Amino acid sequence: MKSLPYFCRGEVIRGFGRGSKELGIPTANFPDSVVDNLPADIGTGIYYGWACVGNGDVYKMVMSIGWNPYYKNTKKSMETHVIHTFKEDFYGEILSVVMVGYIRPERSYDSLGMTTLSHSYIHAYTQTAIFARSQRSDLSQASRFDLYYFSLTPTLLSTLYAHYSDITLVFVHFAHTLCVFSDGFSASLSSLFLVEALITAISNDIEEAKAKLELPEHLKLRKDNFFTSVPSSSSAAPSTAASTSQTIMNGH
Ligand SMILES: Cc1cc2nc3c(=O)[nH]c(=O)nc-3n(C[C@H](O)[C@H](O)[C@H](O)COP(=O)(O)O)c2cc1C
Ligand SMILES: Nc1ncnc2c1ncn2[C@@H]1O[C@H](COP(=O)(O)OP(=O)(O)O)[C@@H](O)[C@H]1O
């Protein structure tokens, strides 16, 4: 990929609340202006590099570039997971990234080991889950049917409501999987194994990024290029003291 390393920056916008944060892998979304400017040779897949929020420190990052199921696969998105634990969200802040390498292609649900299940199977599973929960004597009467017991967010709940009758909502830890990683209940349905497979794949990406970014060339690239402050104009190039030929001037 001749465009790598590729620098871009933009405001962090809200994603689609599919719950990656709840799975421990929050991903910050760039606006269309950044996504639409990607060079043609930077295709979908998983990338690694460096990132900083506002004028903050520079951290390692992994980024997924993919087609967003929310828009029925017509909209590409760039989602950055910064390998750092932040005290709070940073929506509205300027995120600066430099993508320095490619890890792997985006995997389809099938290749991640998804089991496709029929709606009738889901209903059967749901009924069983409701019954099992209603029988649990260790729970209070109310919590036996408490929909929030499984930490469903309002967004996920409303998605569920839109697709299923209220009684089936009790079947949530399974449904959560569907909310997060399928493009709706009318689509083929995945099992809990899918989430586990995806989390494992992303954890492997994170480990690979951590290792690769320790390489001398990547550490040098960071040192030579990295933006130490966010310019007031979003179209400005990274403002560093870098004077080497490696200074990254592309992207936003
Ligand atoms: C490092 C990384 C790797 C990912 N790999 C895949 C993948 O192989 N296949 C896939 O469908 N989604 C993949 N994703 C995308 C996640 O499913 C996506 O970030 C999540 O659905 C977005 O949720 P959100 O809208 O709540 O931010 C990956 C995300 C990250 C951060
Ligand atoms: N380490 C991190 N990497 C990326 N985003 C993070 C991180 N820690 C907190 N966040 C916040 O979490 C948000 C993403 O959360 P997520 O559940 O994926 O929701 P959304 O659907 O709005 O993208 C980011 O926009 C950012 O504000």
What's residue 18's pLDDT? 54
**Among residues 181, 171, 75, which one has the least CA distance to residue 129?**
171
Phi-psi region of 45 (alpha: psi -120 to 50; beta: other; left: phi over 0): left
In this prediction, residue 25 carries a pLDDT of 83
Mutate which of 12, 13, 14, 27 for ligand 2 pocket (most atoms within 8 A of beta carbon) = 27
Q: Which of 1, 93, 76 is nearest to 35 (CA)?
A: 76
- Three-state secondary structure call for residue 144: helix
Tell whether ligand 2 has an atom less than 6 A from the beta carbon of residue 182: no
Q: So what's the pLDDT on residue 69?
A: 55
Q: Is the pTM of this model over 0.80?
A: no
pLDDT at position 88: 94
Q: Are strands 28-29 and 6-11 parallel, antiparallel or unpaired?
A: unpaired
CB neighbours of 58 closer than 8 A, spacing ≥ 6?
Answer: 50, 51, 52, 222, 226
Which atom of ligand 2 is found nearest the CA of 89? 27
Note if 79 is an active site residue.
yes
Ligand 2 contact, 60 CB (< 6 A): no
Other CB atoms within 10 A of residue 57 CB: 10
DSSP, res 13: B
- Residues of the chain under the 70 pLDDT cut: 16-23, 68-73, 108-197, 226-252
3-state SS assignment for residue 244: coil
Asked whether 89 lines ligand 2 (CB < 6 A), one says yes
Closest residue to atom 9 of ligand 1, CA basis: 107
Which H/E stretch holds residue 204? helix 192-212
d(CA 218, CA 54): 21
